[in-house]
Structures are given as C-alpha cells and as structure tokens.
Amino acid sequence: MKYTGMYCLRQWTLVFLGLLLCSRVGMAQQNAETMASAEAAMLEKIYNASLTDGAAYEWLRYLSTRIGGRLSGSVQAEQAITYTKKELEALGLDRVWLQPVMVPKWVRGKAEFAYIESTPGNTNNVPIRALGGSVATPVGGLKAGVVEVSGIEDLKSRDPEDIIGKIVFFNRPMDPTRINTFEAYSGCVDQRHSGAKEAGMLGAVGVIVRSMNLRLDDFPHTGSMSYGDLPVPQRIPAAAISTNGAELLSTTLKLNPDIKFYFAQSCRQLEDVESFNVIGEIKGSENPEKVIVVGGHLDSWDLGDGSHDDGAGCVQSMVVLRLLKKVGYTPKHTIRVVLFMNEENGLRGGRKYAEEVARKGEHHLLALESDAGGFSPRGFSFDCSPELLNQVLAWKPLFEPYLVHQFYAGGSGADIGPLKPNATVLAGLRPDSQRYFDYHHSDADTFEAVNRRELELGAAAMTSLVYLFDNNPPKALPPGSE
C-alpha cells in the first residue's frame, strides 16, 4: 500500500505539473493573441488617422511650392530649416532644436547650353545639366570631338591617344530588366560619380554622362560627382545629358564619328557655410535614454523642387511624431525626428548627427529613413543581425492588410548609415520604385508628381513600425549598449 500511495502521488504530481504547464502555455498563447490584437488595433488607428487627417501632403506642398529646390548652402535650404522647425514646434514636442553643421556650397550659375555639331553650322541643341560639384567650362564654352564609352572599364580599355583632347560620352543605360530599379541605378551610377576623374586622368577635356533614368525623355538628371584627389588642372567639366539627347548623340556618332559636341556651364564651388539639421523629439516615459529616430534629408538638388527626393521623406518623418500624439500613444522610448542637411553632395548632416550621438553615448534602438520617394509603400529593408530580423519578421502579418509585405535584409539609408556602431537596427522605407527614376534629380521632381494617398500611406507605415519597436523593443542589443 505504501508503494502504491507513493506511485499515485507521483502520478498525480506529474498530471498536476502537466496541467499547470498546459495552463501556462495556454495563457501565454492567449496573452500573445491579445497583444497581437491590440497591436493590430493600434495600426488601424494609425492608418485611419493618416488617411483622414494627415499633414504630410500639405507640409510638402509648402516645402515644394513656396520654397522649392533646397540645394545645400542655399537660401532655400535655410528657408526650409526655418519652416520645418516652426512646424515641429507647433506639434508641442518636448524639444525642438537645430544642430549646426558646415556644408559645401556649390552653385549652378547660368543655365547650361549644349549642341551637337554634325558639320560646321549644322547643329542640334540637346538638354544638359551640370553635375553637382563639377567645374565650369571655359567662358566661351567647350567644343571638341566625342568618344563614346559604355562605362569606366570600357574607358580604361581604350587607347589613351584616342581620349586626349576629347569629350568622353558615358552612355551606359540603367538595366531595364532589373525589377528593383535601385539595383539598376547602382549598376551604372559610378560613371556619373567618377567618370570625370577617370577621363581627366587620361587627358579628356570634358565629360557628358547619360542621365540615370529608365525612360526616354528630355529631362537631364543631375547628381553628385567627385574628382577625388585629382589635381585642379586635370579637373574637367562634367554634365548629364537627357536620355533622348544621349540616344541622338549616340546615333549621330555612329553615322559620323567626326562630329563635335559643344557645351557651356558656369557652375562654381564656393567656401563651406554653416547650416543645420532640424531635430524634434518626444521623451520616452520609461526609457528616455534609448532613442528611436526617423528621418529624411531636407536638402535637394536645385532642379525641380525636390518633392520625391527627399521632401516626401522629411514630411513623412515629421508626421510620425504627429500621428503618435494624435492616436494618444505615449512612447516608452524617446522618439526623435531628424531632417538631415547635405545628403545630396556631402552627407555632412548624417555624419554630424552620428558624431554627436557617439559623443553623448546615446543608443538608438531603431533608425528608420525614408529616401526612396513618396510612392506606395511596399515594405522595409533591415540592416541588423539575423536574430533581430526574425523578431521583426514576426510583425509582417500586421502589415499585410496594408500591402506593406516586403520585409527583407538589406541597406537602410545614407544619412542613418553612420549610426550603425550605435544602433541596434537600421531600416529603410521601401516604396514601389518603378517610377522613382523618372523624377530623381531632375526638373520633373515636382509636387504635382506626388500622390497624396501614397504619401500618407508611407507615413502610416513608418509610424506603425516605430510603434511596434517602441512597444516591443529588440531583445538583443550590441555589446556595451545597456
């Protein structure tokens, strides 16, 4: 009887422990389901608020149509700083401030002019725009023979005697078979950035670069270029030509390799000037020392008004803080917006912000950037450990009702990249990219090219991700970040 009693006691103990374990598992599942339901409800509130009472589109309207293109160091850039600081202050944030940063000041000068000369006196005008950072042509312009190449490697393979005294025409197009158009851009942007340096080293007198654009049109697309450490005498003028212009120039060269190309531009590089990053934040209620930052770059090129690149990202980032306040959510961690200055031709703002973060010993749980246009959001890319990516992927079903379902490991953004040593996760909003390069860095990048609903959907997606990170902070942190 004693053995039987002990045996029964053990059996009942095992049954009790099993029931207790099942109960706890059931409670955990119930709690998880309850949390997921609450999170889904919060995302719905965020989206509803953005789509019925969003501010991004009207902020962008003012930034684009009342201020316009905001080239680093320009009067328009300073006006944008004043305007966005005022709007952030009106939100009633805990703190709004300006972070000084020295930025380059490059000016375009008078409108560029170019033509193809088939025979003396027989010319066809073509649209060009100086590349950012380029030197000017001689006062009377520059006319020379043309050598067409398909890229930097092709240039280097040519007989140097064929390059001396010529204008090098880089005509490698973006690859239309790439569904991700940023991959197509990455595949040929080196000729814009480094083409003048490489051609100058070989004795060329000028560079013309096919615009980074997938469609055929008459809009030249500017962008940054660099001479590196090339001596000043070897620095040659560089300009982008429209895709239609590039097609015409290439066809004409095939018919007559002895044609001449003429272009004139009066751009100049001036001394650096002081500018500012614009920053606003809501202090965290539980862990204010840990930061979630969202941002875009306030500067733009001086062509068009910079609505997609990157006025859209700036106003979406500002709206994140507005929406959190509007739905009545109290952040546990500090939520900060940064409008970075000088992304386009120097990245000084992003580097300055990262330097200050490191100096103060701040840690960022998440840094999220919007710099891919104001089109329909499709998902996010994440730069983090595989373990953290798995945590993030668990939230994907919450975004699927809003068609924001592409979550993947990848790059984040240029301005937040320098934060990597002091951030757990870097992320980028990824809108549909198919139309982005129709507008990018050109006169076509205007307010009229932005759709209100698409812009506000992007703002809602960003706010939702910020909310989820704040409500469920990453479990793993970099060594020494606690």
d(CA 150, CA 188) in angstroms, rounded, equals 9
Read off the amino acid at residue 81: I
Rounded CA separation 481/163 (Å): 54
Q: Could you give the count of Cα atoms lying within 13 Å of 236 in the half-sphere of its Cβ? A: 28
Q: 3-state SS of 339-397?
A: EECCCCCCCHHHHHHHHHHHHHCCEEEEEEECCCCCCCEEEEEEECCHHHHHHHHCCHH
Tell me the C-alpha distance between 221 and 186, whole Å.
Answer: 15
Task: List the catalytic residue out of 198, 343, 369, 456.
Answer: 343
| Sequence-ordered strand ranges (E) for 283-360 | 287-297, 333-340
C-alpha torsion 425→431→434→440, nearest 10? -80
User: Which tokens in the block code for residue 335?
Assistant: 């939520």
> 36-72: b or e for each residue (b if 16 or more CB lie within 10 Å)?
eeebeebbbbbbebbeeebbbbebbbbbbeebbbbbb
> What are the b/e assignments for 4-35, b being 16+ CB within 10 Å?
eeeeeeeeeeeeeeeeeeeeeeeeeeeeeeee
Tokens of 46: 């965020």
Give yes or no: 343 in active site.
yes
Pairing of strands 268-282, 333-340: antiparallel
Contact call for residues 456 and 313 (beta carbons, < 8 A): no
Active-site positions read 343
